[in-house]
Chain A
């Protein structure tokens, strides 16, 4: 699904290298998790893949279903099926959540040459999906993320993902700020979307989330590189011992 090879990224305005040769191969239908110390480059990787300004790729490549994503505009990547659930979802004052969703859904449909959803059909689908995430009608009317609690923002990201049905979903610390119940809701939302044609890249600091969303593969990122890859047991190891051992191994 997503092939990342030797990806090197520096800041555009500064001489600061952040990603120093990331290799990742994410197959269709799998859930990959990335863990790693603060500042190791996890969010940067998600931003570069989704096309945010301010970063410069100095080496390497990323292909989504064979297509060079680094060459596309952010909205083209979105239409190609790449979705990022933001670590810090953005507030857009005055724009209704529902309007935002509908605009996004129809923009992608249009880009793919599909028929737009009518107001009625759209409403039906949103209401249904919102309900399973316990997002009430009032929240759908409110401006995008404005005044939402941390947990509400994260649930809103998952609602957007459910509406857009992307193929490649990157979740950046979607579990942070969630209470126990919300964590369950969000995980259920994600699990409901798991299927053979969809891939997840879940960035997290905690095993807790991975209890609910069972990963197939776990990667450890440190200092701009993937330093270790393993099965679900790797996450448990981190939970118990921290990163010290893994980093020491790498240096050695």
Chain B
């Protein structure tokens, strides 16, 4: 089968420089000292109403949330994933936390609290409307990236809104979209991930506080990359964000997502929902570099990352590509999925999941082939070190009408040391006889001969491991946009620090 992957040359040139620059363990573990406003702890109908009220939502939205909450109360937490963690007390955390300076909504980026601006500056995501120069040498090729910055429960600002609006692209926080573009939100919200989808998605539907919204009109190629940067700052607070992306007929958008959180002793919950609607001939690329605080070596603290991400290729020839680099979080439970509904639609999933120390990752994808001649490709690279457990869980389902469809799955696991584990759990259902599914899986150990070779040439052990592991992940790193690829390579190295010796 021929699903073309764009191959970029020299993506890994800067690996080592970046690694050196970022040396130290978790780099984003600091917190911002800022006055916050909290809703009372716990979740109940009053909290749901309060969140809706804080966001100045219309009644239909409040209703939608309340219905979700009613369902959630009747549901039970899923236990099938290969992860274990202490029972979460859903009443012992905050569901809404916003900086006091955000109570009066800033009208422009200039009015945003300097402390918040400084926070994003320090994270390397300046909220300024400037071209991104890092890693790109030719000035003519300046690349702009628009950012929506989410801090705990609220979006603090979105860059390049006006420039995007000129192209007809709507990029704003979801709370703003609910107020300003209710017809779009009503039509699409919950249409990909239904309210009742799963325990965490249902909870998210009830209590999501903010997130990003994107609408690309028919025939428009979004003139720049869009991104959302999620920062959890407040203690004992869960982050529940919602992202809705709509690519109308024949449009194209590339979207990036980054996330970090301070280092704390108690675990924190992050339960997001991302919905993507892709109409006829449209294409969406969604890339994530997930770097939530992973907890310490003994497994204390860290983020529980329970996320539902799904793309619906509704129209014929629609295309979606998920790329994820999962290096953080204490527990990851995440399966970005593709519903290949239209005929000739394509779904791709490229994943690097790294679990070190006591981290647990259970991640993969679902490719649901409904239309004729649909194609999907899965490339998963799992790396386990320390005492970590890493599971790839994937479903490929070919429905009776999905004639002549194809899937190719490649699932590679790399072990560093002998106390960690890698597991591959593929589910395959083929309900017609003209479709084909191919699955390849390998498990290997970091090879001592390779490490010695690198060290004989002068690299220290960690540098050698980083290089070998980056090589192992190459196919996925190449699928990332350039700026992200560099960051991701550096992250691969950092998240493996202390894994050898």
In chain A, what residue has the closest Cβ to B20? A110
Residues of A within 8 A of B16 (CB): 99, 102-103, 106-107
Residues of A within 8 A of B474 (CB): 93-95
Residues of B within 8 A of A52 (CB): 452
Q: Does chain A have a CB within 8 A of B468?
A: yes
Counting chain A CB atoms within 10 Å of each CB, the highest count among B458, B460, B468, B472 belongs to B458
Interface 9-mer from B6-14, B25-33, B160-168: B6-14
Q: Does chain B have a CB within 8 A of A125?
A: no
Q: B459 contacts A75, CB within 8 Å?
A: yes
Q: How far is the CB of B415 from chain A (nearest CB, A)?
A: 16
Q: Does chain A have a CB within 8 A of B455?
A: yes
Q: B463 contacts A107, CB within 8 Å?
A: yes
Segment 85-108 of A: residues with Cβ below 8 Å from B: 86, 89-96, 98-100, 102-108
A106 to B12 CA separation, bound complex (whole angstroms): 15
Q: Classify chain B: how many residues form its interface, as a range.
A: 20 to 34
A105 to B450 CA separation, bound complex (whole angstroms): 17
Assuming A52-B452, A96-B12, is B471 touching A104 (CB within 8 A)? no
Residues of B within 8 A of A103 (CB): 15-16, 454, 459, 463, 467
Q: Does chain B have a CB within 8 A of A143?
A: yes
Q: How far is the CB of B485 from chain A (nearest CB, A)?
A: 13
Q: Does chain B have a CB within 8 A of A174?
A: no
Q: B458 contacts A164, CB within 8 Å?
A: yes
Q: Does chain B have a CB within 8 A of A208?
A: no
Q: How far is the CB of A124 from chain B (nearest CB, A)?
A: 15
Assuming A95-B471, A106-B16, is B453 touching A75 (CB within 8 A)? no
A103 to B275 CA separation, bound complex (whole angstroms): 41
Q: Does chain A have a CB within 8 A of B87?
A: no
Q: A92 contacts B467, CB within 8 Å?
A: yes
Taken residue by residue from 427 to 470, chain B's Cβ proximity to chain A (1 for < 8 Å, 0 otherwise) reads as 00000000000000000000111101111111111010001101
A51 to B473 CA separation, bound complex (whole angstroms): 28
* Contact of A74 (CB < 8 Å), options: B9, B455, B463, B472: B455
Q: B452 contacts A74, CB within 8 Å?
A: yes
Q: A94 contacts B472, CB within 8 Å?
A: yes
Q: How far is the CB of A243 from chain B (nearest CB, A)?
A: 29
Q: A78 contacts B15, CB within 8 Å?
A: no
Residues of A within 8 A of B15 (CB): 99, 103
Residues of A within 8 A of B470 (CB): 94-95
Assuming A99-B15, A107-B463, is B473 touching A94 (CB within 8 A)? yes
A74 to B460 CA separation, bound complex (whole angstroms): 8
Segment 44-101 of A: residues with Cβ below 8 Å from B: 50-53, 73-75, 77-79, 83-84, 86, 89-96, 98-100
Residues of A within 8 A of B454 (CB): 92, 100, 103-104
Residues of B within 8 A of A53 (CB): 448, 452
Residues of A within 8 A of B472 (CB): 93-94
In chain B, what residue has the closest Cβ to A95? B471
Residues of B within 8 A of A92 (CB): 450, 453-454, 467-468, 471
* Contact of B13 (CB < 8 Å), options: A50, A86, A119: A119
Residues of A within 8 A of B471 (CB): 92-95, 143
Residues of A within 8 A of B9 (CB): 141
Residues of A within 8 A of B463 (CB): 103, 107
Residues of B within 8 A of A94 (CB): 470-475
Residues of A within 8 A of B13 (CB): 96, 98-99, 102, 119
Q: B455 contacts A95, CB within 8 Å?
A: no
Residues of B within 8 A of A50 (CB): 456
A42 to B276 CA separation, bound complex (whole angstroms): 62
Residues of A within 8 A of B452 (CB): 52-53, 74, 90
A141 to B473 CA separation, bound complex (whole angstroms): 17
Q: How far is the CB of A90 from chain B (nearest CB, A)?
A: 4
A91 to B452 CA separation, bound complex (whole angstroms): 12
Q: Does chain B have a CB within 8 A of A207?
A: no
Assuming A50-B456, A104-B457, A107-B463, is B468 touching A95 (CB within 8 A)? yes
Q: How far is the CB of A72 from chain B (nearest CB, A)?
A: 11
Q: A78 contacts B456, CB within 8 Å?
A: yes
In chain B, what residue has the closest Cβ to A146? B471
Residues of A within 8 A of B458 (CB): 75, 78-79, 104-105, 107-108, 111, 164
In chain A, what residue has the closest Cβ to B474? A94
In chain B, what residue has the closest Cβ to A93? B471
Q: Does chain B have a CB within 8 A of A160?
A: yes
Q: How far is the CB of B14 from chain A (nearest CB, A)?
A: 8
Counting chain A CB atoms within 10 Å of each CB, the highest count among B447, B457, B459 belongs to B457
Q: A95 contacts B457, CB within 8 Å?
A: no
Residues of A within 8 A of B10 (CB): 96, 98
Segment 50-90 of B: residues with Cβ below 8 Å from A: none
Q: How far is the CB of B366 from chain A (nearest CB, A)?
A: 27
A185 to B473 CA separation, bound complex (whole angstroms): 35
Counting chain A CB atoms within 10 Å of each CB, the highest count among B9, B448, B454 belongs to B454
Q: How far is the CB of A190 from chain B (nearest CB, A)?
A: 18
Residues of B within 8 A of A83 (CB): 456
In chain A, what residue has the closest Cβ to B14? A119
Q: B456 contacts A74, CB within 8 Å?
A: yes
A249 to B461 CA separation, bound complex (whole angstroms): 45
Residues of A within 8 A of B459 (CB): 75, 103-104, 107
In chain A, what residue has the closest Cβ to B463? A107
A103 to B452 CA separation, bound complex (whole angstroms): 15
* Contact of A90 (CB < 8 Å), options: B450, B460, B461, B473: B450
A102 to B15 CA separation, bound complex (whole angstroms): 10
In chain A, what residue has the closest Cβ to B12? A99
In chain A, what residue has the closest Cβ to B447? A90
Residues of B within 8 A of A160 (CB): 457
Q: A75 contacts B460, CB within 8 Å?
A: yes
Counting chain B CB atoms within 10 Å of each CB, the highest count among A84, A100, A102, A107 belongs to A107
A73 to B463 CA separation, bound complex (whole angstroms): 14
A245 to B244 CA separation, bound complex (whole angstroms): 83
A100 to B458 CA separation, bound complex (whole angstroms): 11
Residues of A within 8 A of B456 (CB): 50-51, 74-75, 77-78, 83-84, 86
Enumerate 15 A-B pairs (CB-CB under 8 Å) in ascending A order: A53-B448, A73-B455, A74-B455, A78-B456, A90-B452, A90-B453, A92-B450, A93-B471, A94-B473, A94-B475, A96-B12, A96-B13, A98-B10, A103-B463, A108-B458
Q: Please name the 10 residue pairs, one residue from A and one from B, whose CB atoms are nearest each other, closest first.
A: A94-B471, A94-B474, A95-B471, A104-B457, A108-B458, A74-B455, A90-B453, A78-B458, A107-B458, A107-B459
A99-B12, A103-B16 given; name 13 further pairs at CB < 8 Å: A75-B455, A78-B458, A89-B453, A90-B452, A91-B450, A92-B468, A95-B471, A99-B16, A100-B467, A103-B454, A104-B459, A107-B16, A107-B463
